Structure formats: C-alpha cells, structure tokens
Amino acid sequence: MKGFVDLDRVSLRYGGEDDGTLALHEATLKVALGEFVAVVGPSGCGKSTLMKVVTGLWPPTAGSIAVSGREVTGPLSIVGMAFQNPTLLPWRTTLANIMLPLEIVRPHCTRLRRERASYEAKVRDLLALVGLKGFEDHFPWQLSGGMQQRASLCRALIHDPSLLMLDEPFASLDMFTREELWMALQDLWLARQPTVILVTHDLREAAFLADRVLVMSARPGRIVAERTVDLPRPRALEVTYEPYSVALVHELREHISASRTQTACKG
C-alpha cells in the first residue's frame, strides 16, 4: 500500500562513487496522510539527509521517492520546513517574516496583493495559536530564542503545506522552552493536521509528539525499527513521566545502542 510519503530502497552517496560517503542505504519508509512521524537515530546516521531527499533538495543515488502519489524530481512546493535555527530575516518584522513563503509559493504569490488583508489575518491567527499575539511588529532581535522558533513554525505552516518537515527544531533551546514548544506544535498539528516528519535526537520529544517513531541505523542510514505510540491526544507533558512513555524511550534507546554496536562489529 502506498503512503503519502513513500521511500523505496533509497540510497544516497555524497562525493564520488569510489571515495564518497554513503549516507543512506536502501532506506524504505511509508508515512500516511496526516500522520505525525518522528525519526531518531545516532549522530551522523543520515536523518537530515533523509529530509533532503524527501523534499527534493537532493536527488537520491538509487531508489524512488514519491510524495502525494507523484515521483519527487525536484524541490516540492507542498512542503513547509523548520530547522534548528529559526533563520528569520533580521530586517523583517515577525508578521513580515511569516508572510515570506506567500511571496514565493504558488498560488499564494499570485493572490497576495489583492488578498493581503486576509493573509495577514491568517498570520495573526497562527501567532495567537502559538502564544505570540501582540508580537506581530517585533523584529527577531526583540524576540527570545523560543519566540523566534514559534515564529519559524508559523512561517513553515502559513502556506498550508501538506507536508511539514522539522529538522531538530528545538535542539538549541532550554528544556522548559522546548517543552512549551512541544505543546505549541501539538496544538498546531491538531488544528491543521499536516503530515509531519520530525527529525530529532530527543527520544522523549519523539515519544511525546509522534504517532509513530522510526529508528535509523548508524551510517549508512536505513530504518531498522519502528514503534507506534499508543497515547491519546491531546497529550499533557506529564505523560512523558508515566511508565508507558519511560519504557518507550528506553526501548528506542536500546534500538539505537544495538545499531551502534552492530556497526562497530562490522568495522
């Protein structure tokens, strides 16, 4: 059965065929429409490379990739992305930063001039949803790191992407701010229901946010385990300390540890 995101034995090698680095090796995965999936694994296992091939930013060396039933042959316009660093433009206000994708992505760019008021209202609604109401006219330097990341999430969602790709979006934040943003992201996902692929090193984060967690092997990366998260939504932070979540985090850690050991033995 096809998924909304469908990778079939995808490999990617950086550099030359003989002396290049094999980052992915026959990685296969399916993500259903509207599903929230987290991808975890050891450092350098190819999690970020996986994001690049899914979004069409880097062509695979082998295998096939399809999103929404179409082969990926270049960058996708139906994708919203957020990264570890918010990358807000310093000369733009919060509102103007979030509006940026609307100036680029079709069909919004052709409608923006005549429908600006409705688009700005949409931005304000998103900002209110993540607790940034009243900060529309602030510049990035006037916002905390957590506030900038909230704005970055809004920017990734403003053009109503079908697929949201998140690459360690909370890794640089303190734990308290990170947990606040977990709640904000959960609220955004529940309200919009995009398909989400979250790349993270934080196993507790993965267990709290995702419907399903995929574990990648050490490089060259491939999916070696998956685990469904059987917790109702919306989820409160307290659930991360309950026995089910604690056991899940330990299980994921064991999968990652086993992957490292197997790679070391092969070496």
pLDDT tens readout for residues 48-86 = 888 889 999 998 999 999 999 999 998 888 899 888 888
The whole-number pLDDT of residue 123 equals: 93
The whole-number pLDDT of residue 203 equals: 95
Q: Hey, what amino acid is at 167?
A: D
In 122-173 the beta strands, taken as DSSP E runs, fall at 163-167
The whole-number pLDDT of residue 235 equals: 96
Q: Taking 70 as the threshold, does the pLDDT of residue 267 lie above it? A: no
Residue 262's pLDDT band, with cuts at 50, 70 and 90, is: low
The whole-number pLDDT of residue 261 equals: 61
Assign domain 5-266 to its CATH superfamily.
Answer: P-loop containing nucleotide triphosphate hydrolases (3.40.50.300)
Q: Is the peptide bond before 107 cis (omega within 30 degrees of 0)?
A: yes
Share of the chain above pLDDT 90, in %: 60
215-257 pLDDT tens trace: 999 888 899 999 999 999 999 999 999 999 999 999 999 999 8
In 50-141 the beta strands, taken as DSSP E runs, fall at 62-67, 70-71, 79-82
Lowest mean pLDDT among 9-18, 46-55, 183-192: 9-18
Structure tokens at 85: 């660093």
Mean pLDDT (the chain, rounded): 89
Q: Hey, what amino acid is at 237?
A: L
Q: Taking 80 as the threshold, does the pLDDT of residue 18 lie above it? A: no
The whole-number average pLDDT for the span 110-125 is: 89
Residue 11: CB atoms within 10 Å: 18
The whole-number average pLDDT for the span 169-197 is: 90
Best CA proximity match to 39, nearest among 165, 185, 199 = 199
Domain assignments of the chain as residue spans, ordered by start: 5-266
Residue 64 to residues 44, 78, 225, Cα–Cα distance (Å): 22, 18, 21
